Chains A and B, each alone.
Chain A
Amino acid sequence: MDAKQPSKTGPLINVLIQTSSFDVAAETQLLENALTSQRSNMGALATFTGSVRGSETGASDDAAAYGELLALDIEHYPAMTQSTIEAIALAASQRWSFLGCRVIHRVGRLAVGEPIVLVLVASSHRKEAFAVCEYILDYLKTAAPFWKKAIFEHGEQWVDAKVTDTEALDKWSPPPL
């Protein structure tokens, strides 16, 4: 089997944008159930959960005067968010063979410690699961229209984009056709 070729029908791609939290075990079960006949081919599952750190290094030095970080307000462009992440997952399927993915990104106000993003990738072998998971995350961070505003005890501030997030894409070049 040529690992570069996606299956004829392509992987299952589910993307959800929601304010509510998520349960990793329940979401994993939903992905597995959705794979139906392909489920027996699943030999690997990569899971990534991103959550709100207690500090926001993207915010400027003024932030020190604002006191503790309490939460992030996450804004998005509803008409574009889901389709952008679906396109990223589809681009991943041009590079690697995988069975399915389930991506959840939360919006609204999220307190420190709360989960923000979940990426689940099911594949036959671990290499593809890890690669697709990281690829989706890297492109989500630089292309999906979300913006974080840091909410401190005594003020708030938009989080600046990080150069390191853009540089992270270098490892995937040349980009998929």
Chain B
Amino acid sequence: MIKLVFFARLREQLGLSEHRVALSDKLTVLALVEHLIASDVDSNAGSGHSQWQLLLADEVVVAKNQQVVGRDVFIEDGDELAFFPPVTGG
């Protein structure tokens, strides 16, 4: 299983703070998101839209196991992937 976690505005837009995905193949972050979108659009009877498209926005930051990574990085079973907007602490 891959654990996806979402924060701040993105968490609110998705209405989810986490989501688990079973993964049989080694995929990149981008391929995983595209897989989520494809499965979602199918189940929505071809509405052509999926909330997971939010994860593809340029500004969204991705962290794999708490390290910021690019979308071309491979993920595997047991990884935690975080998606969040630009940070605003301090």
Contact = CB atoms under 8 A, between A and B. Distances in A.
Contacts of A159: 88
A161 B85 CA distance: 9
A144 B84 CA distance: 12
Interface string A47-78: 00010000000100000000000000011110
Interface in B67-90: 68, 80, 82, 84-90
A146 B86 contact: no
Contact of A144 (B7, B9, B80, B89): B89
B90 A50 contact: yes
B38 interface: no
B89 A161 contact: no
Contacts of B4: none
A132 interface: no
A142 to B, nearest CB: 7
A67 B77 CA distance: 48
Contacts of A33: none
B90 A147 contact: no
B47 interface: no
A84 B85 CA distance: 16
B66 A146 contact: no
A145 B84 contact: yes
A161 B86 CA distance: 6
Contacts of B87: 141-147, 161
